[in-house]
Chain A
Amino acid sequence: MSGASNNITDDELNALILRLGTLLPQLNHGRHGRASPSTTKILKETCSYIRRLQKEVDDLSERLLQCLDSMDITSSDAEFLTNLLQQ
């Protein structure tokens, strides 16, 4: 039991790392049947994935900047867009 100290157990750690691994597209690509990636690899890939996503947010912000003036946002747009996104 890890109750005494503040360390998390190996099992807990593995579970958390594994879950993280499932979220990483690069990692799961073409991994069929191979041994599961190491914790270090998963953490490294997590960092580069987050960086990639944050950069995408930056780039998309720039795109929106370009078309902002021509945007005619109506009240029904939010619902319509959400519908599109569900598909």
Chain B
Amino acid sequence: MNNPHHLNPTSLKSRFTTRFLRALTKIRAQKPISSSSPTEIFRRYRRIKVAADKSMAYSVRSRRIWSRAMLWKLRSRSYRRQDPCSGRRSGKTSQAIMKKSSNENTTTRREDGVGFVEEADELRQLVPGGETMNLCNLLDETAHYIKCLTTQVQVMKKIADFYSF
């Protein structure tokens, strides 16, 4: 049966921990913070946050719409910094990804006849890739996304506690 204390090296938690620590090591190897300007400090903060999101998205082995959407967004952002128009140009890629996820009619106006369209749309803004999901996918992806977010928070907290005393 499931022994809660048994270490599962391939669990989402351990995959995320390993990846994220690796990313932090890289970020740390860059210029030390004491000699940095506020801009540099903010950039470092951004790098850490992106590393956390990226590590989680990569660790999600079961291919999920939200993780694909997040990875695509993170990748295209690094290109966009060099060329402000590249975001548009890579629209083709995003369409290919989105098409994969919504094999059905993506509008929920008809499905949502019961009157929670606003709330569903709000949710779509929060879940990566949500804008193109049909209602069924949205609810399914949301559940998984929440589980991953709580794992992410738990691990980041543990790491922060561990290294700050």
Contact = CB atoms under 8 A, between A and B. Distances in A.
Q: Tell me which of A6, A13, A16, A87 has the highest count of chain B C-beta atoms within 10 A of its own C-beta.
A: A6
Interface in B132-165: 134-136, 139-140, 142-143, 145-147, 149-150, 152-160, 162-164
B18 interface: yes
Interface in A56-79: 56-58, 60-73, 77-79
Interface residues of A, number: 48
A60 B55 CA distance: 15
A35 interface: no
B34 A69 contact: yes
Contact of A64 (B18, B110, B160): B160
A9 to B, nearest CB: 10
Contacts, number: 157
B119 A40 contact: yes
B1 interface: no
A84 B9 CA distance: 13
Nearest to A49: B146
Contacts of A51: 126
Given A16-B140, A70-B163, A82 B17 contact: yes
Interface in B22-44: 24-25, 27-28, 32-34, 41, 44
A20 B123 CA distance: 12
B164 A63 contact: yes
Nearest to B51: A61
Contacts of B153: 53, 56-57, 60
Nearest to B140: A16
A65 B44 contact: yes
B127 interface: yes
Question: Sorted from nearest, which 6 A-B pairs have the closest CB atoms?
Answer: A43-B119, A16-B139, A60-B156, A61-B49, A67-B164, A82-B14
